[in-house]
Structure 1
Amino acid sequence: MWGSTSVKIDNHVYTAGGRSSNFVDCLNLNQVDGDWYKVAFMNKQHQYAASAVLNDQMCVAGGRDGGNNVLSSVELYNPVVNTWTHIAPMQTKRCQHALVCYNGRLYTFGGGEFLNRLNSMESFDPREGKWKLLKPMNEKRRALSGVVDNDEIYAIGGDELKSVERFNIRTNTWTNVGSLNHVRLGSCACVVNGKIYVIGGRDDDASKSIEAYDATINEWKIETNMETPRWDASVVAL
């Protein structure tokens, strides 16, 4: 579904939301040639939301609802009991943003509300039950991708951007690292074998290409091309 978001939990892939949708589909990777099947719907429609895994549950934050309203709401899916519950909303309404989890905390950054781009970052600690603002990024980024690698958070690309920056959680600081080869709007990213892979996205002929970041040399290299152009898609590492 266009503008959906995905995670992997216990060898299951969950894909949630998308255009005017609160549907959630699941793929059981333990079943050979298994089909996708529906699980409990989210409480709200979420398009251009972001997701992460928090304590073996799928967290979906922000996005747009069916009326094109940008959301601050956050929902948590428990696959054991097949239910969605609300947790504290973000301080800022966000869509086309990034969300990651590290050491039991959620971190969301960037995105926007229509033409307004954000560089703000906030974090949610389940023990405190609320979101707190952290150091903003160096650049405003809408339709970026984000990952955690080697205990640091990466904010990758975005609308009209090749630049990438890295957040040190201990020092609460952002530092620019090597830039992408292409501008990437609406790409998706994951970490495999110590490398960050960024897939697709619009602008600058990026929609079929995949590039990887090697932190040891601080450089992005084009790895391969997909057969099908993709943007506003989602990816999980198996």
Structure 2
Amino acid sequence: IFVAGGYERGNWCSSKAFYSYNPNIQQWVELSMMNEARVSFSLVSTNNGIYAIAGIDHIVSNNIDREIILHSVEFYNPIDNVWSFSAPLTHGCYNMSAVSNNDHLYMSGGISDDPQHSVPINNFYTKSIHSGDWRELAPLNVGRHSHVMIFKNENLFVLGGFMESEAAMGFNDCHQTEMYDLETNQW
């Protein structure tokens, strides 16, 4: 079990912390810290390591809150206990969902720092875990954030989260489930 980032106790700033829990010995171990502090990001396990994708760096300085929306992506190598930067997203984003399958990462939705994007976004991206940049795939039918994305029987599903509300600056529960077809690039 791995836990990363979040808020530091007492000061509400983002954390770079990274821990592992071994259920066999019932013990937490502190591992190498991430390169960037982050909250509201996606942590994705793959066959060869762990990815921390985008999020927010929340800073409190002189009683002033600042939030930096991140586009960076980091990879944790468990053999070396080292984090290194991977190909960044094309825009900053947080509250998105990400998952890995067959040597690829997939990322959907969230809230973007690009003023041209809707809130929340319906963007959907993939990246090979071996190399390359993120590339855009067919967008979600419904823009959403704080949702779940899973692979089941070689199908990708997006469930729940929050979608745009009729009210200004508000969100409604999203009760729509979407299924993505990898072969046809369609939701």
TM-score, normalized by length of structure 2? 0.81
Distance 1:126 1:184 in 2: 32
**1:213 corresponds to 2:173:** no
CA contact (8 A) 1:184 1:206 kept: no
- 1:76 alignment partner AA: S
Q: How far, CA to CA, are the matches of 1:66 and 1:214 in structure 2?
A: 42
Does residue 117 of the first structure (1) align with residue 84 of the second (2)? no
Match of 1:150?
102
Cα distance in 1 for residues equivalent to 2:69 and 2:19: 23
In structure 1, which of residues 34, 42, 63 is the aligned counterpart of residue 6 of structure 2?
A: 63
Amino acid paired to 1:119:
H
The question of whether the paired residues in 1 share the 8 Å contact of 2:145 and 2:163 is answered with yes
Counting only pairs closer than 5 Å after superposition, residues 1-238 of structure 1 correspond to structure 2 as 58-67=1-10, 68-114=12-58, 115-159=67-111, 160-204=120-164, 205=172, 207-220=174-187
Is the contact made by 2:122 and 2:141 (CA closer than 8 Å) also made in structure 1? yes
Q: Are the aligned partners of 2:161 and 2:173 in contact in 1 as well (CA < 8 Å)?
A: yes
Structure 1 residues not aligned, in runs of 5+: 1-57, 221-238
Aligned to 1:111, the other structure's residue is in SS state strand
SS at match of 1:172: coil
Partners of 1:75 and 1:87 within 8 A in 2? yes
Which runs of no fewer than 5 residues in structure 2 stay unpaired? 59-66, 112-119, 165-171
Kindly report structure 1 stretches of 4+ aligned residues shifted beyond 4 Å.
none
User: Quick check: 1:183–1:206 contact (8 Å CA) kept in 2?
Assistant: no
Deviation at 1:136, TM superposition (A): 0.4
Number of equivalences: 163
Q: Which moved more, 1:112-121 or 1:203-212?
A: 203-212
Aligned residues with identical type, % of pairs? 26
Which segment drifts farther, 161-170 or 197-206? 197-206
User: Which amino acid in the other structure matches residue 172 of structure 1?
Assistant: G
Tell me the residue number matched to 1:19.
none
- CA distance in structure 2 between the aligned counterparts of 1:116 and 1:85, rounded to whole angstroms: 29
1:148-190 CA-to-partner distances (Å, cap 9, x unmatched) read 1221001111012110110112223211011111111111221
Equivalent residues of 1:145, 1:158 under 8 A apart: yes
RMSD: 1.5
Whole-angstrom CA distance in 2 between matches of 1:123 and 1:113 = 17
Give the distance between the partners of 1:153 and 1:97, measured in 2 at CA.
Answer: 14
CA–CA distance in 2 between the matches of 1:170 and 1:113?
27
Q: How big is the shift at 1:113?
A: 2.2
How far, CA to CA, are the matches of 2:33 and 2:156 in structure 1?
Answer: 29
